[in-house]
Amino acid sequence: MLTQEENELLTRTGPGTPMGEFFRRFWTPVMLSEEIPEPDCTPARVRVLNEDLIGFRDTDGNVGLIDAYCAHRFSPLFFGMNEESGLRCLYHGWKYDYTGQCVDIPFIPEGESFKSKVKLKSYPALDKGGFIWAYMGPPELQPPFPDFDFAAIPESHRENWKIVCECNWMQSMEGQNDPSHLYFTHGFRDITDGGPGVQMGLNSGSALSRVRLPSAVVDTEFGISFATVWNNEEEEQRVSIDHFIIPNFDPSPSYNNLGGGKFPLGYQRMRVPIDDLNCMVLRVRWNPYEPLLEEFREAHNAWLVPEKLPGTYKPVANKSNDYLVDREMQRGYNYSGINNFPLQDICQIEDQGGPIMDRTRERLTSQDTLNIHIRHQLIKAARDLQEGQEPAAPHRPELFKVRRSTVQAAKGTPAMQVLQEALKELVPAE
Ligand code: FES
Ligand SMILES: [Fe+2]
């Protein structure tokens, strides 16, 4: 449970808010690279951290991320023409380069000299790993780009995905760091031989069919790390080590050997505030060694990629139609009545008493340990920054390379000890 002031601090990310400023110390993914696929392509609207921007790629391929509105009389640059190294406003033709500098004011005698005095707000932007990233903080504090594994592999090896949710970013984030939601939200009614769960590759030992809460949680330089004991009935216990990377990155990738080693898979998700009432979930899946197989894409997309409304990143099954929940399916097949994993989550998080849940009234238990840690870390980091203490993590790019892992430990070894040992070798060699 939080105070009203803490809930506000956690959920508001506009310019000048404590959490908004904290976010602005990091490189933030703001859109898919494919939204502005080539030089001189159609510009794309970008709303992020409560700011309206326009993204475009100029004739030389430079990515521009500039104010969505023209400096003259604020017409939307979205309708402008992206050609000959800049974006020209449709209203009176003022033209801007990818840094937001005005480079042409036609028709008026003073245009030639006046243009140099006009510069739109703009942010440094990078195209990495299938996403366009922005740095929206103070220029003198711009950090190096994080060492994400997926940013260093060819396009053929990865798949990027985006979906827009109608809720505050923290609701989506908390849905991720919530191990006890797996059983019902994503679970199948039958995991016996031949049952639908087994057809999905699940068995009684899988994460979806057993609820395991973390046994040890620690704060780290990059967020939190936690250990979950999966099997302590035998001589050796299997312990998974997971991480949350502040402010909004998934518990790091693992390289699962799905399909008997056929699909070694990295997987990372990021929750990015669009504004306080909407967020985008960005996801990348990749094979670090070779191109993703079509077979893999097909097998996984049916359950992992909701169909989207044409021209949008909104699911066809959404809040307005109750996510097309199938009550027959819910009675006999799975618990949700929805046969798509992201939608199973989205139907639980978009309306938790509203798009910004009231965290002063919730009833937390040991089920919520991870989220309690994450909230407190985020709140502390935002308050520290408010008091002038800059975060160190953005300037340690190697921290973003941590991976989830599984270790074996002798029976009876305390989870905290296993976790502390694992943390000594956090960033593994290739
Ligand atoms: S409003 Fe854009 S040129 Fe006038
Ligand atoms: Fe989920």
Segment 322-347, tens digit of pLDDT: 999 999 999 988 999 998 999 999 99
Question: How many A from CA of 348 to the centre of ligand 2?
Answer: 9
pLDDT of residue 85: 97
Non-local (6+) Cβ contacts of 112 within 8 A are 105
Q: Which residues surround ligand 2, an ion (CB under 5 A)?
A: 345
3-state helix, strand, coil in the chain (%, to 5): 30, 25, 45
C-alpha 336 to ligand 2 mean position (Å): 11
Name which residue sits closest to atom 1 of ligand 1, judged by CA: 73
Query: Which domains, from first to last, does the chain contain?
Result: 27-141 (2.102.10.10), 149-423 (3.90.380)
pLDDT per position as a tens digit, 76-128: 999 999 999 999 999 999 999 999 999 999 999 999 999 999 999 999 999 99
Q: Hey, whose CA ends up nearest to atom 3 of ligand 1?
A: 92
Question: Which position has the higher pLDDT, 294 or 365?
Answer: 365
Nearest to 121 by CA among 224, 24, 219: 24
Structure confidence at residue 430 (pLDDT): 40
Q: Which residues line ligand 1 (CB under 6 A)?
A: 70, 72-73, 75, 89, 91-94
pLDDT value, residue 429? 43
Mutate to test the pocket of ligand 1, among 69, 72, 120 (most ligand atoms within 8 A of CB): 72
Summarised one tens digit per residue, pLDDT across range 385-417 is 999 999 999 999 999 988 888 899 998 899 999
> How many CB atoms lie under 10 A from the CB of residue 286?
27
More confident residue, 28 or 202: 28
Rounded to whole angstroms, the Cα distance separating 260 from 309 reads 35
Return d(Cα 383, Cα 70) in angstroms, integer: 35
Cα three-residue angle 80-83-84, rounded to 5 degrees: 140
Query: How many whole angstroms separate alpha carbon 149 and alpha carbon 400?
Result: 8
* Residue 77 alpha carbon, nearest atom of ligand 1: 2
28-42, 58-72, 89-103, 284-298: which range is least confident on average? Answer: 284-298
Sequence-distant (6+) residues with CB within 8 A of 418 are: 216, 227, 237, 239, 241, 407, 409
| Minimum-distance ligand 1 atom for the alpha carbon of 105 | 3
Q: Which atom of ligand 1 is nearest to the CA of 89?
A: 2
335 close to 344: Cβ distance less than 8 angstroms: no
Residue type, 110: E
**C-alpha torsion angle, residues 342, 347, 350, 352 (rounded to 10):** -130
Closest-approaching ligand to the CA atom of 69: 1
